[in-house]
Amino acid sequence: MAESTNGRMEKLVSLCKRRGFIFQSSEIYGGINGFWDYGPLGVELKRNIKNAWWEDVVRKRDDMVGLDCAIIMNPKVWEASGHVAGFTDPLADCKKCKARFRADKIFSVTARDGENVLLQAGVEADDEAHARAAATAAANSKTRRRLEQHAEAMVWEVCRGDRLPDGVAARCPLCGGELTDARKFNMMFKTFVGAMEDSSAVAYLRPETAQGIFANYSNVLDTSRLKLPFGIAQIGKAFRNEINPRNYTFRSREFEQMEIEFFCRPDEADKWYEYWRDARFQWYVGLGLRSDRLRLRDHEPDELAHYANACADIEYEFPFGICELEGVANRTDFDLTQHQKFSGKDMAYFDDESKERFLPYVIEPSGGVDRAALALLCEAYCEDEAPDEKGNPQPRTLMKLHPRIAPIKAAVFPLVKKDGMPAIARKIYEDLRGAGLSAFYDEKGAVGRRYRRQDEAGTPFCITVDGQTLQDRTVTVRDRDTLRQERIADDEVLPYVRERVG
């Protein structure tokens, strides 16, 4: 089972490279761990995800405004937020092979099937049965449940506070060597502002976009006519010096976030928390993630961050495990209180009607663009059979991307490069592009091969101009997923595609 999911991931990674979705950053120099580049198709996919988010959470709402903050801010922001003191991971090194691990994530497991979970490493045990028993004893109920739910988990995340049973020692998952004691490691990337490289010039690349919103909360309030409840939304890069970047783009060192800070009265915070938790879950379903691969997992009280009084993760069943796509948290008035304290600026909200002054509570839906893109790519990857020109079934790979996020919405082909077909096809192609729909024109090679290329790119519609077009001005529209072909008038192509893209 583990093999087949690894295989599936390998095939997806290979397709993403082959077709120009995702490349390793600076690949010609051997790459750099935790950094990725998005190629021509990938950048369109990401842009479509961000546009969909912006349309749905900002433009379509009258209680939300957008913001675009600098990546580097006054370092006091990160003192106030707690990131300077607390944005740390426990780090342990293997004394033997020198590999570095997060000390709370050093237990590697694979699974044979749903029930037969074998602890492979990290626990000294004589045999499988002993290892499994030790694993079970060491896990609390939450960890065990997650492990059981997803039998192919590659890394078993031991929760904070878990203790291994007596006589069981943590060991290097790679070579079994002894590990150093855990040390704290701050994940913020440091840089220097200006010519001096001393402590007075230290600044950080933001590890989240959220703090830029809190730092601008008063600016936005003073310059807009917003009243509670309202939200501020931002999309932007974030940087974390992850100890162990892994699972393709899932845990990267540079990534993009889409974050909302939704300010509300404290007595309405529970209601808005539930609203956003459910709305954000449905958003992913609407973009094509199958709801049975999506989970909404409420955090246990012992899992909550120090600033939150409620939190839920929207998780997706990736081929490598069930992992977080987005977190929705009730951050209370923690951040505004902190920034008020550290900046000395009054952040209280004055309610005209009740004449009260108070610090609003904040509900934060915080998602990752790269994780959404990866989930959508995993969901879309599909293999089936399609008939070739002679009607013989041939294996094909297709990306069943939702038309709203597909990088190319329609490809237009003349069946042959003569009899005026290219001119008609070009006109359809230009009309689509002129209407703001990304389209692709291709007149080279057998039409079956052209279809295959578009299937791999995730293009939902292929439009072919053929002999009949010359007689009655109709073209065929081929549906990527069903392979169904229908004839429509050439001037109907634009409304046809536009309606389906949504």
155 part of the interface to ligand GAP, by CB under 6 A: no
Q: Is 83 in the site for ligand GAP (CB under 6 A)?
A: no
Min CB(327)–ligand GAP separation in Å: 4
122 binds ligand GAP (CB under 6 A): no
Q: Provide the minimum distance between the beta carbon of 65 and ligand GAP in the complex, in angstroms, as a whole number.
A: 18
Q: Is 341 exposed, middle or buried (0-12, 13-18, 19+ CB in 10 A)?
A: exposed
Question: CA 143, CA 10: separation in Å to the nearest integer?
Answer: 27
Strand, helix or coil for residue 269: helix
CB of 230 to ligand GAP, least distance (A): 18
- Report residue 343 as tokens: 């900046």
DSSP state of 300: P
Binding-residue pattern over the window 369 to 388 for ligand GAP, x denoting contact by CB under 6 A:
-xx-----------------
DSSP letters for 214-249: HHTHHHHHHHS---SSEEEEEEEEEE---SS-BTTT
Would you call 72 helix, strand, or coil by DSSP? strand
Q: Please answer whether residues 335 and 214 qualify as being in contact, where contact means their C-beta atoms are separated by less than 8 angstroms.
A: yes
Q: Is 321 in the site for ligand GAP (CB under 6 A)?
A: no
Residues 189 and 175: their CA atoms lie apart, in Å, by: 30
According to CB under 6 A, which one of 218, 366, 454, 459 is a site residue for ligand GAP?
366
Residue number, 89 or 370, with CB nearest to ligand GAP: 370
Q: Among 409, 411, 425, 494, which Cα is nearest to 453's?
A: 411
Does position 330 interact with ligand GAP (CB under 6 A)? The reply is no
Cα separation, 296 vs 278, in Å, equals: 9
Gap between the Cα atoms of 144 and 157, Å rounded: 10
Does residue 251 bind ligand GAP (CB under 6 A)? yes
The verdict on 478 binding ligand GAP (CB under 6 A) reads no
360 sits near ligand GAP (criterion: CB under 6 A): no
Task: Provide the phi-psi class of 292: left if phi over 0, else alpha when psi is between -120 and 50, else beta.
Answer: alpha
Nearest to ligand GAP of 105, 240 (CB atom): 240
Residue whose C-beta lies closest to ligand GAP: 368
Structural contact between residues 502 and 493, judged by C-beta atoms closer than 8 angstroms: no
Q: Does 263 bind ligand GAP (CB under 6 A)?
A: no
Determine, following the binding rule CB under 6 A, whether residue 338 of this chain makes contact with ligand GAP: no
Using the contact rule CB under 6 A, the part of the chain among 136-144, 192-200, 320-328, 427-435 near ligand GAP is 320-328
On whether the CB atoms of residues 201 and 190 are closer than 8 A, the answer is no
204-243 binders of ligand GAP (CB under 6 A): 208, 210, 240, 242
Any contact of residue 261 with ligand GAP (CB under 6 A)? Answer: no
Total residues contacting ligand GAP by CB under 6 A comes to 19
Paired tokens of 374: 């990866």
Nearest to ligand GAP of 104, 242 (CB atom):
242
Choices 7-15, 163-171, 216-224, 318-326 (CB under 6 A): range interacting with ligand GAP: 318-326
Q: From the CB of 248, what's the least distance to ligand GAP, in Å? A: 10
Angle between helices 421-434 and 493-501 (to 10 degrees): 40
Residues at the interface with ligand GAP (CB under 6 A): 208, 210, 240, 242, 251-252, 255, 257, 259, 324-327, 364, 366-368, 370-371
